[in-house]
Amino acid sequence: MKITGCNDRLSRSRVRTRQLPLPPALMAKPSITAIVLTQDESLHIRRCVESLAPAAERVCVVDSGSTDDTVAIARSLGAEVFTNPWINQAAQFNWALDHCGVRTGWVLKLDADEYLEPDLQVELAQRLGALPSDVHGVLMKRKYLFHRPLGPPRRNAPAVPPSALAYRIGADRTTVDGRTSCPEFR
């Protein structure tokens, strides 16, 4: 099983000269179902679902019994909403794989407070469909913003490893400790 990184960005010196990304309307959507895990995320769900629209064929929100407007907001944005009681993240994601009727080649897992920036939307559209069939997962570096009461947000906390967020359907399952069953992801 082979895993690849999806974030081999151009160096700073070349960023200024690269072409602008295609507008989302002109990009071909890769075969992705996005699974978003939620509970009381009305503050974040709009940004998350809107960021997935250019990149995913389907957005499935798996809610754990929200008492706020999370479900209504997700539905108003065109997401399919499923409900399942919370056990842990791995159990919730595996439940989604079994019950959301995923028919795409890839699945993308996010929490409601995560979202795709435009560069990643373009990169997924350009590169995910072109990966060889022996690639079963894609590691992506996450950009973490930690909001502090005083001062600007702290960006990119140290010692944060890349995370496997995109999985080829049928390649693996998430275990109880949140790791995948495939050794290369550990």
Task: Provide the CATH number for the domain around residue 58.
Answer: 3.90.550.10
Q: How do residues 89-115 score in pLDDT, each as one tens digit?
A: 899 999 999 999 999 989 999 999 889
pTM: 0.71
E-strand ranges in the chain read: 2-5, 32-38, 58-63, 80-83, 106-111, 135-140, 145-146, 154-155, 163-168
Give domain status of residue 2, yes or no.
no
Give domain status of residue 95, yes or no.
yes
Half-sphere exposure of 41 (CA within 13 A, CB side): 23
The whole domain housing 57 covers: 30-170
pLDDT of residue 127: 83
Give domain status of residue 22, yes or no.
no
Indicate the number of domains in the chain: 1
Give domain status of residue 13, yes or no.
no
Full pLDDT tens readout for the chain, 186 residues: 333 343 333 222 233 323 344 445 445 567 899 999 999 999 999 999 999 998 899 999 999 999 999 999 999 999 999 999 999 989 999 999 999 999 998 999 999 988 988 888 888 888 887 888 888 888 777 666 655 555 665 555 554 454 547 777 765 555 444 454 432 322
Give domain status of residue 177, yes or no.
no
- Nearest alpha-carbon partner for 100 in 61, 133, 74, 129: 61
pLDDT of residue 170: 65
Give domain status of residue 124, yes or no.
yes
Chain center to CA of 105: 14
Give domain status of residue 175, yes or no.
no
Which neighbouring-strand residues pair with 82? 62
Give domain status of residue 90, yes or no.
yes
pLDDT of residue 144: 65
